[in-house]
Amino acid sequence: MIKELKENYGYLFEDSLLMEINSVGTFKELPEGFQLIDIGDYIKSMPLLVSGAVKILREDDKGDELLLYFIERGDTCAMTLSCCMGQKKSEIRAVAETPTKLIMVPVEKMSEWMGKYKSWQNFILQSYHDRMTELLEAVDAIAFLKMDERLFKYLKDKAMVNHNEVIQVTHQQIAFDMHTSRVVISRLLKTLEIEGKIELHRNSIKILDL
């Protein structure tokens, strides 16, 4: 695990902190689609992403979902942080978007290291800021963009975290993530294809205009 730590967090943390993480953290590999956190869960440990990507979703009472943003290598889940702190329930759901490797750190350590390591403190605050910024971007997309623009942004974001201009996804799955209906997505995708921005295939979409 120490190898992964140095590679992904070596530039952020001093050796002593890396050693601490190494001694209390547990390394995990998640398959695609694995659900790390559900809404209402109490969080006992926080994830440090080593590789892969995790998507963060919001859900309302009626079970309608909405994709908020992705978390990647070098990130952590800020929601998790605050949830641990106050022993609060998670407000979001986290699902592995791709096969993902991460290190789980017990929450008690988070607070302890805050006082002990300046670099950890910066990491946590920076993480909060990044997540906040991504949330604002999500708000922008929902509030200011029309469906076709949102859809294209979604496709590009998804291609980005998958490091591949071809994404494996069905229209129905997109509809879930964007909280709309499959028919709407099919319609708009077809338009995007006619505009030459994407290529449609069964179970996959190629983004041309990345």
Partner DNA sequence: CTCAGTCAGTAACATTAGTTACACAGCACT
Partner DNA sequence: AGTGCTGTGTAACTAATGTTACTGACTGAG
- Contact residues for a second copy, defined by CB under 8 A: 58, 60, 62, 64, 66, 68, 78-79, 81-83, 85-86, 88, 91-92, 114-115, 118, 121-122, 124-126, 128-129, 131-133, 135-136, 138-140, 142-144, 179
Of residues 30 and 79, the one with the C-beta less far from a second copy:
79
CA 3 to chain centre: 23
What is the closest distance, in whole angstroms, from the C-beta atom of residue 172 to DNA in the complex?
A: 6
Give the residue carrying structure tokens 């209906």: 181
Residue number with CB closer to a second copy (30 or 78): 78
Sequence length of the chain is 210
Contact between 158 and DNA (CB under 7 A)?
no
Amino acid at the residue 37: I
How do the residues of the chain divide into helix, strand and coil, expressed in percent and rounded to 5? 45, 25, 25
CB of 145 to DNA, least distance (A): 8
Q: Which of 171, 177, 198, 207 touches DNA (CB under 7 A)?
A: 171
Query: Does residue 170 belong to the site contacting DNA (CB under 7 A)?
Result: yes
* CB closer to a second copy out of 126 and 186: 126
Please answer whether residues 68 and 137 qualify as being in contact, where contact means their C-beta atoms are separated by less than 8 angstroms.
no
Candidates 7-15, 112-120, 156-164, 175-183; binding stretch for DNA (CB under 7 A): 175-183
Does 180 interact with DNA (rule: CB under 7 A)? yes
Nearer to DNA, 13 or 152 (CB): 152
d(CA 189, CA 203): 13
Looking at 35-146, list the stretches that DSSP marks H as alpha helix, in order from N- to C-terminal side. Answer: 78-85, 107-116, 118-144
Give the residue from 125, 134, 153, 10 showing the smallest Cα distance to 72: 134
Tokens of 182: 């499959």
Among a second copy, DNA, none, what does residue 1 contact (CB within 5–8 Å per kind)? none
Partner that binds at residue 170, options DNA, a second copy, none, CB closer than 5 to 8 Å by kind? DNA
Q: State the residues that interact with DNA by CB under 7 A.
A: 146-148, 170-172, 179-184, 186-190, 200, 202-203
